[in-house]
Amino acid sequence: MRKITIIITLIFLFTGVACKKKVDYFNKANTEVNKGNYEKAIEYYTQALTKNPKDTLAYLNRGSVYAKMNNFNGAITDYMMALQLDSTNFNTWSLIADAKYQLKDNVAAINFYTVSLKLNPANWQAYFNMALAKENSGQKLAALFDYDRCIIYNNKYTLAYYNRGILKYSLGDFQGAYNDFNTSITLDQKFGEAYFNRGNLQIQLHSNENAALQDYNLALQLNPQLAPAYINRANIYFTAKEFRKAIDDYNLAIQLDSTTMLAYYGRGLTKYYLKDYAGAIADLDKTNLLDPQMAKAYFFKACLKKDQGDMAGAMADFSTSGQLGYMAAFDSLQKITLLEQNKNSK
C-alpha cells in the first residue's frame, strides 16, 4: 500500500503597517512575494533588515521565501534570528521544524515541533507534521498519537485521516485504516488515492472485488497517473479472465512507471494465457531484472521454457527459484532432471 507523504510547509507572510514618510521595504517585499518574484522580495526584506536589524517579521518572511525556493538552510538561519528576537512565537518554532524536516533532520524537527506545541497546544498543523517526522524516525505509535491529536483540533483535515489510515494499515489495524479512508472520501470526494487504498481493503477485508473495482475506477478517473491502481485493476481483470483488459491496464502502468516490477510480472502471466509465450518470458525476464529476488517469476519462466522445449533454461530457472525460497521449484527441477536422465539413457 502506497503512502503519500505530504508535508505542508508553513509559510507566514506577515504584513506590517506602512510608513508614509519613508520607503517601506517590508511591504514592498510582501508585494513581490505575491507576484512570485522571490529574488526581488529577498532583496527588499534584506533592505528592511538593514534599516531595522531587530525586525522579527522580516526575518520570518525572508526565511519563508527561502523555504519556497527550497533553500532550507537559508530559511533556518533567518528563523533562528527571529527566534533570538522572540522565543515565544510558536509559529517560529514550527517554521524551523518544517525546514529541519525538509532537510531530513527528523529528530531536530520533532524537538522544535514539541516546543511549538507547548506554546500552542492547539496547533493541529504541528501535530500533523510532527507525526510525519516520527514516522520517518520509526516511531509509529507516537505518530499515531499525533495524528489523533491533529484530528481532535481539526476534524475536517482530510490528510490527517488519510495518513492515519496508511499508518494503521502498516500496524495491522485494517478495519481502522478502512474507516479512515472512508472518512477521507467523505471529506474530499475527489481524493483519488483514498479510493485506491479503500479498494485494496475492499479485497483484503471483504473479498469484494466488485467494490474494489469501483474504487479503482473512481481513483483513476480522479488521478489517471496512479500507476498502482492500474496494476490492481488489471489483477482483478486477470482473475476474471478478462485478459485483454488486464493487458491494457498493465501497459498503462508501465507507461507511467517503467520500473514497476509487478506490472511486468502480471503482464507476463497474462501473456501466457494469451499464448504469447515469447512475450511472457520477456516480461518475466524484466521482472527479475527489476527484482532478482522474485522467486515466482523464475518459476513461471521455467515452466514456460519447459513447455517450449528449453530444458536447460528451465532447469536453471527452477534451480534459482528454489534457492530463493520457492520450494515447489525443487519438485519441478527433480521431475525435469529425471525426465532428462531417462531420455539420455535410451
- For 51-110, the pLDDT digits (tens) are 999 999 999 999 999 999 999 999 999 999 999 999 999 999 999 999 999 999 999 999
CATH, residue 52: 1.25.40.10
Tell me what percent of the residues of the chain surpass a pLDDT of 90. Answer: 89
The pTM (predicted TM-score) of the whole model is 0.88
In-domain check, residue 307: yes
Q: What is the 3-state secondary structure (H, E, C) of the chain?
A: CCCCCCCCCCCCCCCCCCCCCCCCHHHHHHHHHHHCCHHHHHHHHHHHHHHCCCCHHHHHHHHHHHHHCCCHHHHHHHHHHHHHHCCCCHHHHHHHHHHHHHCCCHHHHHHHHHHHHHHCCCCHHHHHHHHHHHHHCCCHHHHHHHHHHHHHHCCCCHHHHHHHHHHHHHCCCHHHHHHHHHHHHHHCCCCHHHHHHHHHHHHHHHCCHHHHHHHHHHHHHHCCCCHHHHHHHHHHHHHCCCHHHHHHHHHHHHHHCCCCHHHHHHHHHHHHHCCCHHHHHHHHHHHHHHCCCCHHHHHHHHHHHHHCCCHHHHHHHHHHHHHCCCCHHHHHHHHHHHHHHHHHHC
In-domain check, residue 151: no
In-domain check, residue 184: no
The last residue of one of the domains, among 91, 120, 149, is 120
pLDDT in the model for residue 15: 47
The last residue of one of the domains, among 96, 120, 144, is 120
In-domain check, residue 171: no
Residue 25's domain spans which residues? 1-120
In-domain check, residue 202: no
- Does residue 346 surpass a pLDDT of 70? no
pLDDT in the model for residue 23: 57
pLDDT in the model for residue 17: 40
In-domain check, residue 314: yes
Q: Name the band, by pLDDT with cuts 50, 70 and 90, for residue 340.
A: confident
In-domain check, residue 174: no
Q: Name the band, by pLDDT with cuts 50, 70 and 90, for residue 10.
A: very low
Give how many domains the chain has, as a whole number.
2
At 23-52, the pLDDT tens digits run 589 999 999 999 999 999 999 999 999 999
The last residue of one of the domains, among 120, 144, 171, is 120
In-domain check, residue 270: no
